[in-house]
Structure 1
Amino acid sequence: MLPCPIGWIDNHDDPRRTVHYLHDLATTWRLHGGSRLVVRPTPGSTNRAELALDILTAVGKNPQVLQNERLNQREWELARAWLAGTTITDLLVDRAHALPHERLLDLAHLAGDVRAGLWLMWSSPDTDAGDKAISALQAAGHTVRRLWPNELIWAAPPRRRSPEPAPARPLWPRLPTADFTTFRAAARRHLTPRAFAAADNIYRDAAANTHRWINAQYGQDPADRVLADLSGYADILTGWLRDEQLGPATDASAALIRLRGTQAALFLHGVLLRWTPDALGADPAARLLGNLTPSATLAITTMARTDHAAAAVLTLHLNHAPASFADLRCSDVTTDGYINFTGRRSLPGIGTGPIAVPSYARNVLASHLAYRHRQRATIRDRFFLHTRIPERDPGAELREATIRTCERINRPAPWLHRNPCRHGTDQGMHPRTEGWLTERGLTLHQLDRDVVARVSTRWRDQHHES
């Protein structure tokens, strides 16, 4: 247990300014996140499990979802994990006078564990009860400072703060459906000069980024155009496309332009990235974007179980069933939500490259890592555990939990199906190939040495300098 700095705020008059401050602070957290969290204990609750549910609700968990989850008396540890993963610096507890001393000590221990300050809003005029509460906290080794509402050390957030408008996205006209070999020429013919200039900037940037990535990975020697290990190259390339090049695109049109520029650059290095959009629906370019969107992440974080939330995040980001990453180790995950495989390890179908989930979802992985650390997991232990039998492979359990999560948030995962439709209706009874490239209709092929040699210098110069 770490000592916790505690601010005991005498709020027995319940001034309007304090009410507005707490309301605005909670609204700011709900709309924009932040490092200061307002916890409002349920009136009449005295046990620690109910207080933990109040903390989980303050962090953003849905109370109705909490009722249906099987937390198995792990509410307090889950609340601690989510606070650690979301990097809370200040914990404000409203109506703290209604809590018994045991719960106040629990809150102080919790704040100390996550290295956050604790602020107790004491709204009772009973000074004796307040003095006893302060004495109990001081006897446990915590430093308590008496304050008045006007002595809060930070400025109140702006009242009635509305969500910041999303950055304006360009309204793209209908882009040509030509393949990458003639895409720029078709765009020049069919788009207005202004639209073509905007599209061409994205195209050139994508091609330049691809050249830089290839040169950084394999050097600038022309021999890199003949690959010795296409499967290993495909794993590394898939991770780069997913995390940096195509997945983070702002919209479907930008993703399509990036894809065409990437295809052209890869072609010059002897690799054909073929896109087959026929089976991708009415808007195939929209399928190029990542499945783990901000709205999907927000829906996932309404659940309390960190293991199920982390499994859903990785499933939607990697487009793989949980069995592919059930062997993930705690040493592979960093405290800020990145995944770097240690000891030259790899995951089936994913490879050895690092995994960078979007920034808005990294706190989910960080929270589950904090939960595993509270379970005294070592760096060699699994990142995911079977709920009842820790020695058992958690893949099957995570699969069923992830299917339920995707159904609840209305984000169907075509690569996850129950029997008898194990492989998906679009595949019938044939095994479905999992992977980020497969879900986007992308396939990777190595070009013949003679074909690469016949790529004319004139075509390359016109393609990247015109």
Structure 2
Amino acid sequence: MSQALPQPSPPSPQPTAAAPVTIVLDPHDDADCLHQALAAHDPAAGCVTVHPTPGASTDSQLCLDVLIALGKPADQAATLSGRAGGEHAVAAATAWLIGSHTWLIIAVRTHLLSAAQRARLVCLAHESGAKLIVVWHARAEQDWTACFPGATGFHLADRLRPAIAAARLERKPWHSAVPARQVLHCAERGPQPARGDPDLDDVTLPALPTSDFLRFRADAYRRLSLSQFQHVDGVYTYGLDLACTWLLRHGDLARAPATRRLPSTRPAHWGAMTGHVRDRASILHRLPEEIAPDHPYPYRIGALHPLRLFLTDLIADCPTREHAIARIRGAQAGLFLHGYLLTVPILMGRPAGPGLIAQLTAEDAERIATHLAHPVHAAALATALFTGARLHDLQAIPLAALSPDATTIEIREGTQAADGLVLPEETITYRVPVYARGILAAARAFLLLTGHHDEEPLLEQGLGSRGQQLLISARACALTVPSLQEHAEHHRSWLRRTTCWKVGEPIHPASSQPVAGRESAQEMPHA
């Protein structure tokens, strides 16, 4: 986990310089100008049109209007505006602009705003890195600097539509477009039934075989109909291809510095191993000194951090538990092609341990972002769903545990009894789904803007001492939090129960070349 800093760092991303304010002059209050401003409003695309409340003169009220324009509930936004003299509303508006990657703010009726409200508009645009276009429905002023305190420059325009088009041309993207997953087609390409889209969310997978990865595909072919098998096989093969691609990019796990030879009992599902696999795995239970020099395998891999990160990324966008299991079975087969035996705690077809199947979908993330105005409340609910972590583990997450780009979050699991063993504390790194990163980035920006430090809790405000605030947030979004309903005090995450063994040399053809797969909202983790 990263070291805590003595002072809070600035919210990310932070622009290097404030962009000039574009002022669109509309002295005749043309209806078409207002219609164009309202038509440009598209928060999902990063463009927000703010229509200030008439008669309000405080900057916190303007931030309330910004929150409403971003789609936040008006009652919750009003509650924020009443806290800390309006400071929380200001911080929340800025944080959500950062988290939603808003690149353009259009404000109408700005001639009616107070100087403090106009200064707040300039500050919001500067701190979020967005461009600001204001519509001035009155005669031009002699001194624009007095009207917009804090602005570094001005561009005057007489029409709104060309101003929006110019802003689009000058736009600096927040990040490059999410690339398509680069996939090595490692499965045999003989005569096979045609596969559909392996991640078609509206197709429900049937009940899957309970066998291990060695017999999973064969059992699925025997037990399922042809159409059912085609879809299951597509998901399975997709997991296999992703695992092989990741391994070839990442390198040999056995060469990592933390690798160590460890004595161990036999791996899970021992009875399912036959033939060549049993030959490889037959001495997994023997001590290292009992292994002859000409038989260096197998040994246990100690550097599991990159592998765990890949596994969380592998299942982060799975729509159902069956999709996650099929992908993991395929990934086990892909790892075995490279000489690794991955054991995963899937017992009798039922996932064991929290976090094996993420409970946060893209639709749920959108619901959270639109039903909760407080960024920390939204982040707490999203994190509880996609990690499945227990309440006291969530409460212990510091601000520094979230990576600067909000792509990973570290959760330290406390000492607990599991399977008759007392386990030490261990930090597990989870990949944050792409559709939840803006929510967590907004929470961090909010905390930094309100004076919190990196060593302070990240999600405390959204959890409550007994999870009461988390339950309130879940009810507001019509969602349930499985980790609060499960009464499993002696459980540990599936990642902590996953082990990996080096059992032989790779048999994967090294000449395979990656080809572009489907575009995915989930990025492949890099070394």
User: With structure 1 as the length reference, what TM-score do the two structures score?
Assistant: 0.71
Change (3 A) 1:334 1:187: closer
- Counting only pairs closer than 5 Å after superposition, residues 194-209 of structure 1 correspond to structure 2 as 196=229, 199-209=232-242
- In 2, the alpha carbon distance for the partners of 1:100 and 1:318 equals 45
User: Does the 8 Å contact 2:205/2:231 carry over to 1?
Assistant: no
Answer yes or no: is 1:134 the counterpart of 2:178.
no
| Displacement of 1:403 | 2.5
Change (3 A) 1:215 1:196: farther
| Displacement of 1:319 | 0.7
* Alignment-derived partner of residue 226 in structure 1: 299
SS of residue matched to 2:431: coil
- Determine which of 351, 356, 360 is the counterpart of 2:431: 356
Answer yes or no: is 1:177 the counterpart of 2:250.
no
Answer yes or no: is 1:368 the counterpart of 2:443.
yes
The one-character-per-residue Cα deviations of 1:13-45 (angstroms, maximum 9, x if unpaired) are 34343233223222x32xxx1232111111222
The one-character-per-residue Cα deviations of 1:224-251 (angstroms, maximum 9, x if unpaired) are 743276xx84x76554322x22232355
User: Does the 8 Å contact 2:22/2:133 carry over to 1?
Assistant: yes
* Alignment-derived partner of residue 458 in structure 2: 384
User: Does the 8 Å contact 1:225/1:269 carry over to 2?
Assistant: no
- Counting only pairs closer than 5 Å after superposition, residues 75-114 of structure 1 correspond to structure 2 as 75-114=89-128
| Displacement of 1:433 | 2.3
> Unpaired segments of 5 or more residues in structure 1?
158-165, 388-393, 418-423, 461-466
- In 2, the alpha carbon distance for the partners of 1:279 and 1:188 equals 20
* Alignment-derived partner of residue 375 in structure 2: 306
* Alignment-derived partner of residue 20 in structure 2: 5
- In 1, the alpha carbon distance for the partners of 2:449 and 2:331 equals 44
- Determine which of 62, 73, 90 is the counterpart of 1:51: 62
User: Does the 8 Å contact 1:78/1:371 carry over to 2?
Assistant: yes
* Alignment-derived partner of residue 143 in structure 1: 153
- In 1, the alpha carbon distance for the partners of 2:363 and 2:165 equals 30
| Displacement of 1:189 | 3.0
The one-character-per-residue Cα deviations of 1:332-354 (angstroms, maximum 9, x if unpaired) are 4344212366xxx9554894454
Change (3 A) 1:155 1:346: same
User: Does the 8 Å contact 1:318/1:436 carry over to 2?
Assistant: no
Structure with greater strand percent = 2
The one-character-per-residue Cα deviations of 1:326-380 (angstroms, maximum 9, x if unpaired) are 4444444344212366xxx9554894454321111111221222223324555x5
SS of residue matched to 2:40: helix
- In 2, the alpha carbon distance for the partners of 1:340 and 1:274 equals 22
User: Does the 8 Å contact 1:2/1:113 carry over to 2?
Assistant: no
- Determine which of 154, 157, 160 is the counterpart of 2:164: 154
- In 2, the alpha carbon distance for the partners of 1:176 and 1:237 equals 25
Higher relative contact order (CA 8 A, sep 6+): 2
SS of residue matched to 2:430: coil
User: Does the 8 Å contact 1:8/1:121 carry over to 2?
Assistant: yes
* Alignment-derived partner of residue 22 in structure 1: 37
Change (3 A) 1:114 1:204: closer
Q: Which moved more, 1:54-63 or 1:83-92?
A: 83-92
User: Does the 8 Å contact 1:40/1:94 carry over to 2?
Assistant: yes
| Displacement of 1:76 | 1.0
SS of residue matched to 2:253: helix
* Alignment-derived partner of residue 77 in structure 2: 66
User: Does the 8 Å contact 2:103/2:131 carry over to 1?
Assistant: yes
Change (3 A) 1:386 1:247: closer
User: Does the 8 Å contact 1:13/1:123 carry over to 2?
Assistant: yes
SS of residue matched to 1:131: coil
- In 2, the alpha carbon distance for the partners of 1:36 and 1:153 equals 13
- In 2, the alpha carbon distance for the partners of 1:169 and 1:400 equals 32
- In 1, the alpha carbon distance for the partners of 2:203 and 2:426 equals 37
- In 1, the alpha carbon distance for the partners of 2:443 and 2:143 equals 33
User: Does the 8 Å contact 1:9/1:147 carry over to 2?
Assistant: yes
* CA RMSD of superposed structures (Å): 4.3
User: Does the 8 Å contact 1:294/1:360 carry over to 2?
Assistant: yes
Change (3 A) 1:17 1:46: same
User: Does the 8 Å contact 2:49/2:69 carry over to 1?
Assistant: yes
| Displacement of 1:94 | 1.6
> Unpaired segments of 5 or more residues in structure 2?
1-15, 168-196, 260-294, 416-424, 509-527
| Displacement of 1:252 | 5.2
The one-character-per-residue Cα deviations of 1:235-284 (angstroms, maximum 9, x if unpaired) are 76554322x2223235555434213323556677444324236778xxx9
Change (3 A) 1:368 1:209: same
Q: Which moved more, 1:110-119 or 1:134-143?
A: 134-143
- In 1, the alpha carbon distance for the partners of 2:35 and 2:465 equals 45
Change (3 A) 1:252 1:14: farther
* Alignment-derived partner of residue 318 in structure 2: 249
Identity of aligned residues (%): 19
Answer yes or no: is 1:258 the counterpart of 2:327.
yes
User: Does the 8 Å contact 2:34/2:108 carry over to 1?
Assistant: no
Aligned residue pairs total: 405
- In 2, the alpha carbon distance for the partners of 1:300 and 1:247 equals 17
- In 2, the alpha carbon distance for the partners of 1:44 and 1:225 equals 75
* Alignment-derived partner of residue 463 in structure 1: none
Change (3 A) 1:201 1:216: farther
| Displacement of 1:93 | 0.5
* Alignment-derived partner of residue 123 in structure 1: 137
- In 2, the alpha carbon distance for the partners of 1:203 and 1:194 equals 14
User: Does the 8 Å contact 1:308/1:398 carry over to 2?
Assistant: no
- In 2, the alpha carbon distance for the partners of 1:12 and 1:131 equals 11
Change (3 A) 1:113 1:273: closer
User: Does the 8 Å contact 2:384/2:483 carry over to 1?
Assistant: no
| Displacement of 1:294 | 1.5
- In 2, the alpha carbon distance for the partners of 1:168 and 1:208 equals 17
